[in-house]
Structure formats: structure tokens, C-alpha cells
């Protein structure tokens, strides 16, 4: 993007070599001389524009204009394509008409007796669940220890427990014999050792093919990339934004310390706001 303000180069050439008559051609084709007030005004205006362009900040060497005047190598034609140099004064003549229909897709919006579990299953669908099952079993195999492979039903149960509304100081407290801590509903789903195994082998991507830190394809979020890509696609499929959008930043609470932010500990995330939110 050029920072120079003024007319384009080919426009300058047109004013210099076509609109402004030379000294030998000061008489118009109709026989009138150069005393026409309109002609004088035109020349004065053109000279003002040319002086503005020549005095503007440009990386081109001034000797380029000297060579043109000395050798009298005048351009015979003006380029038909004009390059637009964007600046703060540049404006768009017409904004394209917004014809989209922003809202939740009909499949979800018109669903009868919609429940939270229905929305969750739109994102954690069978494709994602099977991917998690495969990656968990693969990671356990790579560790070289004997194990019982997990299945789709077990992964769904594991996700449901971690999304529960009851939070304990430790996950082992769900299986506690203390009536004030234990949750009989959860403890009946599977043993605490199995839950612990799933927790320690939870994986979303293959470590054996992860790009090295010095590799150009290195990704800091490699371990989460399949999940992030899947969820992004689901958001795009399930919701179409309206015309009016805004981008803002937010801080998600985390142990990372940020000095100049109202929330001192967290990491910054960019958020897209829709007019309906």
C-alpha cells in the first residue's frame, strides 16, 4: 500500500504531455491564440497539480524526469489501466448488497423439544467421537503397555462426567465413600481406575508425526488442531452470521500473567460478535 498522496503516475504524464500545449502550439485549431481565459485557468490548474505531484514524497529519482525533458522522449499513449493507490481519502463507491440470511440453521431452529444434549451432539458428533477413540487407543499402544481399548460409549460417558454441574476438589471424590463427597450416580458408571486411565490417555492427535519446533509447519496447537478444526466447521455449518458484526478481544482466565489488562491472569482471544448476541 503506497503512502503517497496525489494523482497516479500515468495521470501525471497525461497532464504534462497531452493536456498542456507546448510553446509552438499555443494557437488552437480554431485559430484563437492562448489568451483564452479558460485556457489560462486550465494551464494554471494543471501546473498546480503537476507541482504537487513532483513535490510529493516518492522513491523515484528526479533524474527520470530530466531524461524525459532532455531527450524529448514523450510517451505516445497513456496506459489504459490506472492503478489505484489506497489512502485514507479512498472510498468505496458502492457497498455490495447483503443478501445472506443470518440465523441458526433450519435443522436446529425448527427442532421440536430441543434439549441441551441435542446441541452438544451437533458438535460432538459420531465423527469426532470415533476420532477420539482412535487417538486414545493409538496413544496407549505407543506407550507399550497392556490395556483394554476404549469404545464410543465409554468416551461419551467420560465427556458427560467432565461436563457435569457438580464440581469436586478432586475427580477421585466422585468415588469417595464419604456421603458428603461421593456421587453414587457417577461411581456406578465405571470404576475410578478406568476413569483415571482415560484421563491419562486422553489424546486428539498423533505425537509421532508432530512437526518439530524448528519446522516451518510447526503448530503450537498441534495437539488440539483436529478438535479445533472440527468445531470451527460445525460452527460455520450450524450458524450463519447477520450483516452487522464486530470483532473484539477477551481474556480467558488462565495462569498466564498479563500486566496491562484488567484481568491480570489469562490469555487473549479474539471474539466475533453478531448483532443477535
177-231: per-residue pLDDT in tens? 998 889 888 899 989 999 999 999 999 999 999 999 999 999 999 999 999 999 9
Which pLDDT score is estimated for 83?
A: 60
d(CA 137, CA 149): 6
258 closest CA partner among 250, 221, 222: 250
Which pLDDT score is estimated for 16?
A: 60
- pLDDT tens digit sequence for 118-170: 888 889 999 999 999 999 999 999 999 999 999 999 999 999 998 888 888 89
d(CA 131, CA 204): 7
Which pLDDT score is estimated for 109?
A: 81
- Which 3 state secondary structure label does DSSP give 251? strand
> Considering the entire predicted model, what is its pTM?
0.59
For residue 269, CA distances in Å to 233, 254, 262 come to 18, 12, 14
* ∠ Cα 6 10 16 (to 5°): 85
Which pLDDT score is estimated for 78?
A: 43
Judging by beta carbons within 10 Å of its beta carbon (0-12, 13-18, 19+), is residue 11 exposed, middle or buried? middle
Q: How many residues does the chain have?
A: 277
d(CA 42, CA 38): 6
71 or 165, which is more confident?
165
d(CA 269, CA 141): 35
- pLDDT tens digit sequence for 12-70: 666 666 555 544 444 444 444 444 544 444 444 444 444 444 444 444 444 444 444 44
Structural domain spans, the chain: 1-91, 106-240, 242-277
Greatest C-alpha distance within the chain: 113
Amino acid at each position: 500500500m503506497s503512502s503517497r498522496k496525489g494523482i497516479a503516475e500515468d495521470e501525471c504524464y497525461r497532464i504534462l504531455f497531452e493536456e498542456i500545449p507546448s510553446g509552438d502550439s499555443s494557437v488552437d485549431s480554431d485559430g484563437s491564440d492562448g489568451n483564452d481565459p479558460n485556457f489560462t485557468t486550465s494551464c494554471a490548474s494543471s501546473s498546480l497539480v503537476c507541482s504537487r505531484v513532483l513535490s510529493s514524497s516518492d522513491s523515484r529519482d528526479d533524474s527520470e524526469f530530466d531524461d524525459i525533458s532532455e531527450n524529448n522522449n514523450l510517451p505516445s499513449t497513456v496506459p489504459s489501466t490506472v492503478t489505484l493507490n489506497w489512502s485514507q481519502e479512498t472510498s468505496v463507491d458502492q457497498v455490495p448488497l447483503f443478501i445472506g440470511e443470518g440465523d441458526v440453521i433450519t435443522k436446529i431452529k425448527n427442532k421440536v423439544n430441543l434439549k441441551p444434549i441435542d446441541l452438544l451432539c451437533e458438535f460432538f458428533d459420531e465423527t469426532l467421537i470415533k476420532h477420539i477413540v482412535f487417538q486414545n487407543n493409538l496413544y496407549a499402544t505407543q506407550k507399550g503397555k497392556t490395556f483394554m481399548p476404549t469404545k464410543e460409549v465409554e468416551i461419551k460417558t467420560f465427556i458427560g462426567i467432565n461436563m457435569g454441574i457438580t464440581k469436586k476438589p478432586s475427580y477421585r471424590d466422585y468415588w469417595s465413600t464419604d456421603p458428603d463427597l461421593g456421587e453414587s450416580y457417577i461411581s456406578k458408571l465405571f470404576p475410578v481406575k478406568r476413569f483415571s486411565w482415560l484421563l491419562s490417555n486422553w489424546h486428539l492427535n498423533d505425537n509421532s508425526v508432530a512437526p518439530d519446533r524448528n519446522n516451518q509447519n510447526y503448530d503450537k496447537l498441534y495437539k488440539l488442531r483436529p478438535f479445533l478444526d472440527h468445531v470451527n466447521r460445525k460452527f460455520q455449518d450450524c450458524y450463519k452470521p447477520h450483516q452487522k458484526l464486530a470483532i473484539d478481544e477477551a481474556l480467558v482466565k488462565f495462569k498466564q500473567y498479563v500486566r496491562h489488562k484488567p484481568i491480570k491472569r489469562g490469555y487473549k482471544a479474539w471474539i466475533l460478535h453478531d448483532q443477535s448476541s
